[in-house]
Amino acid sequence: MNQLSIARPINLIIIALNIIVVDFFICSQGSFSWYEVAVLILKILVMVLLAAGGNMINDYFDQKADALNKPKSQLVGKVIAPKRVIWLHLVITTLAILLGALLSFWTGHWFYSIVTLLYAIVLYLYTPFFKRIPILGNLVIAFCVAFIPYWTAYGHFSIGQGNSQKIIWLMAFAFLSNFIREWVKDVQDVQGDTAQGYRTAAVRWGFQTSKYTLYALWWLMIALCCIYCWSHFSIETFILVLLPSAFGWTPLWIATKNQDFKRISLILKIIMVMGMIGVIIH
């Protein structure tokens, strides 16, 4: 089971839920043919496999940093041989590209195949290139996650204005929450990232500046939730969307050391899931 954690199963489940919310609940509104079910499964498999492969190659490149950041839970080089990780990444990513091509052929939209290939390249380059430039790595990952709702909805020609607004909301919320979470992870990993030569935001500007910037970004996320709740108010959206975001900033404000940010990262995952549920039930 330890070896499976290299793929980040919880993150993969969140990605799958994101695709299901957009495709089944927003675009198709619960009415599915067998063809549409098959297309949905392909969409999920492509993005989940891409993310799993990206997580694996990220851990491969991060061996030196992980030895300092999380020596007890480091997998590559201890539990899994580095060569095996490269092989797994190659197989999984290749399968994702092939399924992306199948999805394009089946639907007649080569957009899916092109995006799949671009994701594979970007996720491979993330650690050795993007992560070495302050903010850029955070923006890249946040954009990759935020683009998934649009990628999922592409090809649906009768979404409607109200549902289009929901997709835009999901994209904006996914971008901001993931940008914050990536910066939170940088604060957690600053010791190892410094040793490996990464110029992340936390390495470049330090703990206090990162904390205050994250606090401001969190308030921006709360403002975004307020706007959504104002436009689509129900008691359910208020409880599921706004309250978790509003209360979530407290652990950030009282954080005094890098280790405190692990709890904040978990809170952000919960907020992401609650936000998706809030969109569904409205």
Locate 39 and state its tokens: 């297309």
What is the model's pLDDT at position 53?
Answer: 95
Contacts of 258 (CB under 8 A, 6+ apart): 187, 188, 190, 191, 207
Average pLDDT, the chain: 85
Confidence class for position 233, pLDDT limits 50, 70, 90: low
The string of pLDDT tens digits covering residues 15-63 is 999 899 888 888 876 666 788 889 999 999 999 999 999 999 998 998 8
Residue type at 262? K
SS (H, E, C) 114-152: HHHHHHHHHHHHCCCCHHHCCCHHHHHHHHHHHCHHHHH
What is the model's pLDDT at position 215?
Answer: 87
Does this model's pTM top 0.95? My answer is no
What is the model's pLDDT at position 42?
Answer: 95
Count the alpha carbons within 13 Å of 197 in the hemisphere toward its beta carbon.
Answer: 4
Instruction: Report the share of the chain in percent with pLDDT over 70.
Output: 92
The answer to whether the beta carbons of residues 105 and 69 sit under 8 Å apart is no
The string of pLDDT tens digits covering residues 91-137 is 999 999 999 999 999 999 999 999 999 999 999 999 889 988 889 99
Residue 159: is its pLDDT beyond 70?
A: no
143-152, 175-184, 217-226, 242-251: which has the minimum mean pLDDT?
242-251
Residue 174: is its pLDDT beyond 80?
A: yes
Using alpha carbons only, give the angle 40, 125, 192 rounded to the nearest 5 degrees: 110
Please give the residue range of the domain that contains residue 252: 3-281
81-90, 149-158, 176-185: which has the minimum mean pLDDT?
149-158
Residue 272: is its pLDDT beyond 60?
A: yes
Contacts of 43 (CB under 8 A, 6+ apart): 19, 23, 103, 112, 151, 152
What is the distance between the alpha carbons of residues 178 and 182, in angstroms, rounded to a whole number? Answer: 6
What is the model's pLDDT at position 2?
Answer: 61
Could you give the number of structural domains in the chain?
A: 1
What is the model's pLDDT at position 158?
Answer: 60
What is the model's pLDDT at position 27?
Answer: 81
